[in-house]
A and B are shown apart, each in its own frame.
Chain A
Amino acid sequence: MKFTRRDVIRTTAGAAAGALGSRFIGSSAFAQEGLKYKPEDGAKLRLLRWSPFVQGDEDQWLKNSKRFTEATGVEVRVDKESWEDIRPKAAVAANVGSGPDLMFVWFDDPHQYPDKLLDVTELGDYLGKKYGGWYDGPKQYATREGKFLGLPLATIGNAIVYRESWVKEAGFSEFPKDTAGFLELCKALKAKGHPAGFTHGHGVGDGNNYAHWLLWSHGGQMVDETGKVTINSPETLKAIQYAQELYKTFIPGTESWLDVNNNRAFLAGEVSVIANGISVYNTAKVNKDKDPKLTEIAKDMRTTNLPIGPVGKSVELFQVTTAVIFNYTPYPNAAKAYLQFMFEDPQMPDWITSSAAYCCQTLKAFENNPVWKADPNNAAYAKASATLRPNGYAGPLGYASAATMADYVLVDMFAKAVTGQATPQEAMEEAEKRANRYYRV
């Protein structure tokens, strides 16, 4: 794939004005108490972030960046890239020591190249103290051996999105809360001609979220606390068997689905239940005036958290994004000042509000953001940071957990078994072998 879809957005219209102003943090627009980083003379920053799924997120981020430029005179250029392409871009930047000063990376990326990232522990501790502390899950992705490798920026929640009228038509007055009831619902929906659809393909977000939920909800885990691979277990077997039953209720083709397929199928009225971020609902809401069919779908859409399995509690992966500064940046102070500014009140709450429930706060003080009550469908995503379970549970985050996920070990295990290309036992054994490679047994 050619990586030339970058759409450069310059956010520095106010740079000239800013250059005339103060060159240090402390002007009226940035007069909060606490840390003060003095940007280097002539500092310019380049940030690479993921393309937005909700337009308000990007718009507000650019507005906040402009505020920063006006306050400090530091130009910030914000580039964007498809979210799946961020990981390879970050890897290359880390390896060659050149590229954007700051980047929004995914999952356990910071643990893949910790030596290449600027230590922002002072800033992380300061923000944590000031804003009620960080949620544990996002913090784990951003910290290693007590040091902040970056700042946990947001959790992109994943939840069940369904058509209420079809669920009722299938004989369910409310959405089942457990996996057994969920399977019955999906069977009933399929019988009514409204199949469910969950990604069994190499979808970085949806594929991994679904596979981890299947595994964890049945008590399985890839590794134990010491990093020993434990995927070949009776619990995993139960998870696979459950997945096989559930797969029978799916629309054909989910083995080939990437991250966008479920959204498209849902908005076209082809499937009744998917697991996704709030973006699918926002798309329907934003475009409902252009298409009467979307108006109907948007009205009928409901969201809820994924059902609880035999393990007895809600266990889900969710995408976590961390803002990192590469240590090759010539402007470390400016970069830290920028992150500080973007995480402070009112910038961060403004951004969370504008992200329309797509980006969940990582600092506890922002949990009462009005966005979570602005629409009943937002509620399922409100506690994503509080409830998520990190990748590679129950082992440590690091090279191995990142590589195992990137190589779709878990996704392939389920896909192979549900499509009949391997028995559950064979699928588990292959996953065990592949995971052992990364966890180096």
Chain B
Amino acid sequence: MAVPSVAVQRPPSILSRLAESRNALGLGFMLPAAALLLVFLTYPLGLGVWLGFTDARIGRPGIFIGIENYQYLWSDGVFWLSVFNTLLYTISASILKFVLGLWLALILNENLPFKSFFRAIVLLPWVVPTVLSAIAFWWIYDSQFSILSWALQQMGLIDHRINFLGDPTNARASVIAANVWRGIPFVAITLLAGLQTIPQSLYEAATLDGASRWQLFRHVTLPLLTPIIAITMTFSVLFTFTDFQLIYVLTRGGPVNATHLMATLSFQRGISGGQLGEGAAIAVAMIPFLLAAILFSYFGLQRRRWQQGGGD
């Protein structure tokens, strides 16, 4: 007697179940990005934190020394000077870049003739490589050949050359000015993009209600621009806090460390001086400041009541 054939339904394999799972597929697509983050972000950061706890030197892995590097930095005047310089540099330059960038953005948002041309011009400092602009400023600030000093002398405003980079106060102001010049376009163009997303009808309605220009800015422009400001300033603060090239070319941290930022000091001690552990510790010490800056910019400036025009 023939046995009737029965189709046996085999349970799907793990592989085919995984292939059909939306979650697994999603995870699969995420893996390359996660791997990249792990290799290029998490690993270097973790390595930096680890090195900060060691006496590693160039060409030598070093041994765990706990918080000795941080203890030394705590008592190191040059380190604290670099912290002060970094904060002064970041706060002053960021405020100036914001104020001037916003002002420029508001002007460029008006119906000006040759609007596109002027917008392109504004971008110039941003597109010039940092090293080139730093070299240009180096000449502008040169103690003997400064064109700025020369022009002021020709105009009879000063009777001797300004010691731009030799005097500690002047040097700090000079590097901040160079950073502001370079960073304004980023703020201006980003805020301009934000300004253009604000519906014109809001201005028309407010104008019909008799709002002044200041009231338009205070109660329409600013609240709607705040999310963009938050993002722009977050990046602006990050770029400024971690600036390296400008200082390296202009002063190498001098005179007498008056312009050393944490980034340049970290490089000087970690790479040029070969003290990898200490250099890493300085770099790691930047993290709390950076986090604070990000949290302030990102969350503080995005508070909803601000955006709705209310006081805080």
Contact = CB atoms under 8 A, between A and B. Distances in A.
A201 B272 CA distance: 16
Contacts, number: 132
B134 interface: yes
Q: Is the interface of B mostly helix, strand, loop or mixed?
A: loop
A264 B144 contact: yes
A330 interface: no
Given A201-B252, A201-B254, A252 B143 contact: yes
Interface stretch (A49-57, A84-92, A124-132): A84-92
Interface stretch (A169-177, A221-229, A414-422): A414-422
B252 A91 contact: no
A255 B255 contact: yes
Contact of A403 (B144, B166, B275): B275
Interface string A169-206: 00000000000000000000000000000001111000
Nearest to B247: A1
Most buried by A among B164, B245, B273: B273
A399 B58 CA distance: 9
Contacts of A4: 131
B122 interface: no
B144 A251 contact: yes
Interface string B30-59: 000000000000000000000000000111
Interface stretch (B201-209, B263-271, B286-294, B297-305): B263-271
A253 B134 CA distance: 18
A224 to B, nearest CB: 22
B60 A255 contact: no
Interface in A248-277: 251-258, 261, 264-265, 268, 270
Contacts of A257: 143
B161 A252 contact: yes
A434 interface: yes
Q: Which 9 A-B pairs have the closest CB atoms?
A: A253-B143, A113-B59, A256-B165, A202-B252, A255-B255, A406-B273, A1-B248, A403-B273, A256-B166
30 contacts: A1-B134, A2-B129, A2-B130, A87-B271, A91-B58, A91-B272, A92-B271, A94-B59, A112-B274, A201-B166, A202-B253, A252-B161, A253-B142, A254-B166, A255-B166, A255-B256, A256-B165, A256-B166, A257-B143, A268-B144, A399-B57, A403-B269, A406-B269, A406-B273, A406-B274, A407-B269, A412-B256, A430-B77, A434-B76, A437-B72
